[in-house]
Amino acid sequence: MTLSELANGLDASDMLGHIRNFPTDLGRVWKEADSWDLSAVENAAFTGVVCLGMGGSASGGDFLSCLSDGNGCLPFVAHRGYDLPAWVSENWLILATSYSGNTEETLDAVEAAIGLGCTVVGFSSGGALQTLLQNSNQTWIQLPDGQPPRSAFGHIFGAQIALTWRLGIMSPPDDLDAMLERLKEAVDACDFTQDGDDDVIAEMAESILNREISILATQSLAPTAYRAVCQLNENGGVFARSHVIPEMNHNEIVAWGEENASDNQSLLLFSWDGAHERNEIRLDWFLENITIEPTWGLLCEGDSHLEALLYAVILMDWLSCAVALLRGKDPTAIGPIVGLKNHLSQ
């Protein structure tokens, strides 16, 4: 059966529809951001930004941190878990994201932040986070509901980065409309439900099926590697691991050089034209001296750092869903997560 036929039978909750809308979701929230009431936060000065969240709601913090490292004016720290790091003070801006609004770790950290006197901006579709922030005279921004958090990255990250633009913490790239059009073209190229003879996503998914999956990224694309692992975990229901160049050149590369390293391995490798030239040299050496089959080199297209990151999101959303379908899995199904949440609620 083709992936399109498998999707018709397995994609009961329309995960493919959600990821197909990714560029549209980004564009919608960027337009809506102009009307947000940020009077409680827009004139404040901050030491840095702590991004609270778990799972699909947390990935945006990693992306913001990476972008700010490249061309920002404040440190961004992603915090996944309860409470807050001991070094956080009232001078830090807290961005709290819980798609449902009921993520217990995030709510616990928000309560700690409010207790410290921090300024908090929250993103959710409602839930306890909305109530907590509104009752505390903090800023709450509504996200559209009705889909899995990991498929709502356009809504979530789009809102997060729009906030940084509004506050002047980061600057948007030139011509966002043109970027969105290119991202839509990338979605069309990855959409394996459309007719076409050259289905690279299907070929990639079949080649890594039933293999150990390793994902490497050059330094400025680090969050794409981790999010790719999470998408393969949740959508595909498979194990994967990630590492970053140059750090992996000082440790994991030794294991890749062993004779048995290629047994049952597959490798996805993310890079882009804006990578540090020394990391490009490291990448070239790796590809020339380490032989892993299959290896897929994924050059993330784009006229900006942001666009390259978003291009990688599109690739891995579609690839992880293709892996799920080939395994006979509904890409939306997350039975163990539901089971754990039920256990914690008792």
Residues 30-51, mean pLDDT to the nearest whole number:
95
User: In terms of DSSP bridges, do strands 139-142 and 119-124 run parallel, antiparallel, or are they unpaired?
Assistant: parallel
pLDDT at 259: 72
Residues 60-84, mean pLDDT to the nearest whole number:
95
pLDDT at 324: 96
Residues 222-226, mean pLDDT to the nearest whole number:
96
Q: Please name the amino acid found at residue 63.
A: F
| 236 secondary structure, DSSP code | I
Q: Alpha-carbon distance 96 to 98, whole Å?
A: 7
The band of 26, judged by pLDDT with boundaries at 50, 70 and 90, is very high
pLDDT tens-digit series, residues 97-134: 999 999 999 999 999 999 999 999 999 999 999 999 99
CATH 3.40.50.10490 domain position(s) in the chain: 36-172, 176-326
pLDDT higher than threshold 70 for residue 10: yes
Q: Is 322 within 8 Å of 202 (Cβ atoms)?
A: yes
CATH 3.50.50.60 fits 36-172, yes or no: no
- Biggest alpha carbon–alpha carbon distance for the chain: 61
Could you tell me the pTM of the whole model?
0.94
CATH 3.30.70.2860 fits 176-326, yes or no: no
The band of 196, judged by pLDDT with boundaries at 50, 70 and 90, is low
Q: Alpha-carbon distance 75 to 179, whole Å?
A: 26
Q: Alpha-carbon distance 329 to 120, whole Å?
A: 38
Lowest mean per-residue pLDDT among 164-178, 188-202, 282-296:
188-202
| CA-to-CA separations, 31 to 42, 105, 124, 169, 200, in angstroms, rounded | 18, 30, 18, 18, 33
Q: Is 41 within 8 Å of 93 (Cβ atoms)?
A: yes
Q: Identify the CA nearest to 45 among candidates 167, 158, 159, 172.
A: 167
| CA-to-CA separations, 267 to 54, 191, 217, 274, 308, in angstroms, rounded | 26, 22, 11, 21, 19
Q: Please name the amino acid found at residue 81.
A: G
pLDDT at 164: 97
Residues 277-288, mean pLDDT to the nearest whole number:
92
Lowest mean per-residue pLDDT among 120-134, 201-215, 283-297, 319-333:
283-297
Q: Identify the CA nearest to 275 among candidates 63, 78, 70.
A: 70
pLDDT > 70 in the chain, percent = 97
